[in-house]
Structure 1
Amino acid sequence: MRAVVVRSYGGPEVLELAEVPVPEPGPGQVRIRTRAAAVNPVDLATRAGHLVQGGLMASRDVTGLGWDVAGVVDAVGPAVAGLSPGDEVIGLSDRLDLALGTHAEQVVLDATAVARTPAGLSPEAAATLPLNVLTADQALDFLDLRAGQTLLVTGAAGAVGGFATELAAQRGIRVVAVAGAQDEELVRGLGAEIFVPRTRELSAAVRSAVPGGVDAALDAAVVGPAALEAVRNGGAFAAVVGGAAPVPLRGTRVANVWIRADGPRLAELALLAAGGRVTPRVAGTFPLADVATAHRLLEKGGVRGRPVLTP
């Protein structure tokens, strides 16, 4: 089968579509024939060697790319219940020790990392969900806000920020969204109550809209300390998308929320997407052989959604 790999680290030119052995599912695993796989910033970071430099991944001769997948189960390992060949599924590959990722014609995942794809959700749309919607959801769980409290979301027009805005609004949380001025209509449509254009004076702008500061911040744009300063004393701060968590000043509760695969919760979130309550956004589709173009598109910035590879 074909898979996207890198043998050295660098720009999009190091990406290679290689012939590799077809993986076999072990106990508790399923093999998925890929129909769509999103490209995320973590794939760019992996390709460039940042995960190795940061000590998150061991350097190796061949590194596969890809976290999200949508496709069809084509083989099931021992001790798997509830999934069978022919099932339409989505899943998340969250282990950094695996030789191959989801940017491949077939991928093996733990069954616990997989969810059925609801009717009405295309493979391309479904493939944009796992990494980004679970990151947003798990960050909101850490922040633990009640209905009526305020949440600052930076990067609210992006993938994680957009999902966070929608999910928070559905929990009754008042969302203060930060994005480019041109994205105000978009983020208000996702459920933001208050809009703050990107500015170097972020804390002052947010505190002008919410005197005393917001109850919590979900920092999808990796703003860091400037976003923390907009949070009230004793509030909470979630760093996501690989951003380093700032020092927990003023009694704030701070964490870097690292993604974990969660098939059952992904199934619930996918149903929200199929029902129109969560909005997948596909920023173009590309064949596996054109993966470098997808990387360049995402690297350029300003993309609303995720490029999707279609083997």
Structure 2
Amino acid sequence: MRAVGFTSFGDPGVLAVAEAPLPRPEEGQVRIRVEAATVNPADVAARSGAFGPMLPAGPRYVLGWDVAGTVDAVGPATSGFTPGDRVVGMSDWLATRNGTHAEFVVLDAAAVAPAPAGVDPAEAATLTANALTAVQALDLLGLVEGQTLAVTGAAGAVGGYAVELARHRGLDVIGIGSAQDEDFVSGLGATFLPRSDDPGRALRAIAPEGVDGLLDTAVIGAQVLAAVRDGGAFVSVMPPATPPAERGIRVETVFVRSDGARLRELVALVEQGRLTLRLARTLPFEQAAEAHELLAKGGLRGRLVLVP
């Protein structure tokens, strides 16, 4: 099978399409014929060598966390899926190095869910890692109906899902984003706040007592912690930007993990029109380097997706 990978860390030019062995599903696993696979910031970080000792030099890495496709084969004693099922799933890539940027990928059945009905695979592929990150971050925050949540990067791939999921939970949401994103963020049901040099002060201007919780998808860190009330909660999506706790604020970092049961719930919300899938562009495997370059430049609204 063909797969996008690299044999040494470096710029996007290290990526290449090459032949790889066809994986075989073991007990409790399914093999998926990949129709679409998202390019995430974690892929860019892995390729560049930014994970350091977490990712030792290896013979060849195949990237990719998200997948949408069709079940091709099931392993022994595997229930819930049969060949021909259209599915979405997520690879716990840092733990398994099992990338989805390939023509086939094997995942645990517990990491897979039926694909949203009537949705193009490229759009469906944008759901898994980003929406799971958002919902798992909201779980960490532990806010209840009627409380106030601020989301930095509210128009981003994770932030947009977080706003919609928080509104679904009955939270009041303040979404921080660039001026061009006001209509989108407001349309999700959030109070829009434009980005500024002092987001903590800007948030306090509209929430003087402080917000109950803050999800920092824009990786601002300590500067925005000031907007959280004493005893509130703060969740970061990247460890280097996770500030030390202060004023009794509970500070945590979300590390996304696969969860097929939760993914089924998210798929249902997509089918109900409560979650907005956003696809920026599709590119063939052969243009993986271009996808990495585009993602690194920033400014995208939605995800880049590779197709075999």
Q: TM-score, normalised by structure 1?
A: 0.97
Query: Are the counterparts in 1 of residues 93 and 99 from structure 2 also a CA contact under 8 Å?
Result: no
Query: Are the counterparts in 1 of residues 284 and 306 from structure 2 also a CA contact under 8 Å?
Result: yes
Residue of structure 2 in register with 1:80 after alignment:
78
Does residue 303 of structure 1 match 2:305? no
1:250-289 map, 5 Å: 250-289=247-286
Residue of structure 2 in register with 1:217 after alignment:
214
Counterpart AA for 2:25: P
Does residue 41 of structure 1 match 2:38? no
Q: Secondary structure at the match of 1:191?
A: coil
Between the two proteins, what is the percent identity of the paired residues? 56
Does residue 238 of structure 1 match 2:235? yes
Residue of structure 2 in register with 1:294 after alignment:
291
Q: Please, which runs of 5 or more residues in structure 1 have no aligned partner?
A: none
Residue of structure 2 in register with 1:4 after alignment:
4
Q: Please, which runs of 5 or more residues in structure 2 have no aligned partner?
A: none
Q: Distance in 2 between matches of 1:57 and 1:116?
A: 31
Which whole-Å deviations, capped at 9, do the CAs of 1:23-78 have from their partners, x for residues lacking one? 00111110000001011111100110111x1x332331211100000000001001
Q: Distance in 2 between matches of 1:248 and 1:99?
A: 32
Q: Distance in 2 between matches of 1:185 and 1:241?
A: 27
Counterpart AA for 1:45: A
1:1-311 map, 5 Å: 1-51=1-51, 53=52, 55-192=53-190, 194-241=191-238, 243-311=240-308
**1:196 CA displacement:** 1.3
Q: Distance in 2 between matches of 1:222 and 1:237?
A: 12
**1:20 CA displacement:** 0.6
Counterpart AA for 2:99: G
Counterpart AA for 1:19: E
Counterpart AA for 1:162: G
Q: Distance in 2 between matches of 1:103 and 1:168?
A: 31
Which whole-Å deviations, capped at 9, do the CAs of 1:177-200 have from their partners, x for residues lacking one? 1100111111111121x2211111
Q: Distance in 1 between matches of 2:29 and 2:79?
A: 10
Query: Are the counterparts in 1 of residues 222 and 241 from structure 2 also a CA contact under 8 Å?
Result: no
Q: Which is further off, 205-214 or 269-278? A: 269-278
Counterpart AA for 1:247: P
**1:227 CA displacement:** 1.7
Q: Distance in 2 between matches of 1:60 and 1:69?
A: 23
**1:226 CA displacement:** 1.3
Query: Are the counterparts in 1 of residues 92 and 98 from structure 2 also a CA contact under 8 Å?
Result: no
Query: Are the counterparts in 1 of residues 5 and 60 from structure 2 also a CA contact under 8 Å?
Result: yes
Change (3 A) 1:243 1:269: farther
**1:242 CA displacement:** 5.2
**1:95 CA displacement:** 3.5
Q: Distance in 1 between matches of 2:217 and 2:271?
A: 24
Query: Are the counterparts in 1 of residues 67 and 100 from structure 2 also a CA contact under 8 Å?
Result: yes
Counterpart AA for 1:224: G
Counterpart AA for 1:287: P
Query: Are the counterparts in 2 of residues 288 and 310 from structure 1 also a CA contact under 8 Å?
Result: yes
Q: Secondary structure at the match of 1:135?
A: helix
Q: TM-score, normalised by structure 2?
A: 0.98
Q: Distance in 2 between matches of 1:228 and 1:282?
A: 31
Q: Distance in 2 between matches of 1:64 and 1:242?
A: 24
Q: Distance in 2 between matches of 1:27 and 1:145?
A: 38
Query: Are the counterparts in 2 of residues 66 and 102 from structure 1 also a CA contact under 8 Å?
Result: yes
Q: Distance in 2 between matches of 1:61 and 1:43?
A: 17
Q: What's the RMSD between the two structures over aligned residues?
A: 1.1
Query: Are the counterparts in 2 of residues 62 and 99 from structure 1 also a CA contact under 8 Å?
Result: no
